[in-house]
Amino acid sequence: MAKRSDMDHGLLLLIVALLAWAVPGAGHFFIKERRRAYIIFITIAALFLIGLYVGSIAVIDPVGAWPWYVGQMLASPAVAIFGHATRSGGLESFGKPHDVGQIYTAIAGGLNLLCILSAVFMAHSGRGEIIGSEEDE
């Protein structure tokens, strides 16, 4: 098998990273780590949705709580849609539900960062395809 050029390899890593950021678990899915991908997607999506349900989408506040927003954005760029919705107004959340919602959504983002790094590392070392086939057996 022909060895990939450095540029192809860099492009592959970039694609894996972008996919993993866009949809939690998609990076692992792309490198044939299917089981890992399903587990990551279900867990991170559930954690993020529980956070939104508990504190409402007002917990995504790009203006008043931007450090949390940075963490939340790590879950997916789609979070910016919620950020745009809350910026333009009317929604408010206070107290314990706000805290719990903010923590859940930001931790979901942090966990997705871990998964992005994991997917990129697996793609870099070629582990994805090897382990993916081991899982299929």
| Number of neighbouring beta carbons within 10 Å of residue 24 | 27
Q: In the complex, what is the shortest distance from the CB of residue 44 to other proteins, in angstroms, rounded to a whole number?
A: 7
Nearer to other proteins, 22 or 46 (CB): 46
Nearer to other proteins, 4 or 126 (CB): 126
Would you call 106 exposed, middle or buried from its count of C-beta atoms within 10 A (0-12, 13-18, 19+)? Answer: buried
CA–CA dist 130, 137 (Å, integer): 11
Q: In the complex, what is the shortest distance from the CB of residue 131 to other proteins, in angstroms, rounded to a whole number?
A: 6
Q: In the complex, what is the shortest distance from the CB of residue 46 to other proteins, in angstroms, rounded to a whole number?
A: 7
Place of tokens 């939690």: 24
Which residues bind to other proteins, rule: CB under 8 A? 35-36, 39-40, 43-44, 46-47, 50, 52-58, 91, 93-98, 100-101, 103-104, 107-108, 111, 114-115, 118, 131, 134-135
**Distances 19 to 29, 52, 57 between C-alpha atoms, Å:** 9, 23, 24
Nearer to other proteins, 52 or 123 (CB): 52
Nearer to other proteins, 4 or 35 (CB): 35
CB 53 within 8 A of CB 113: no
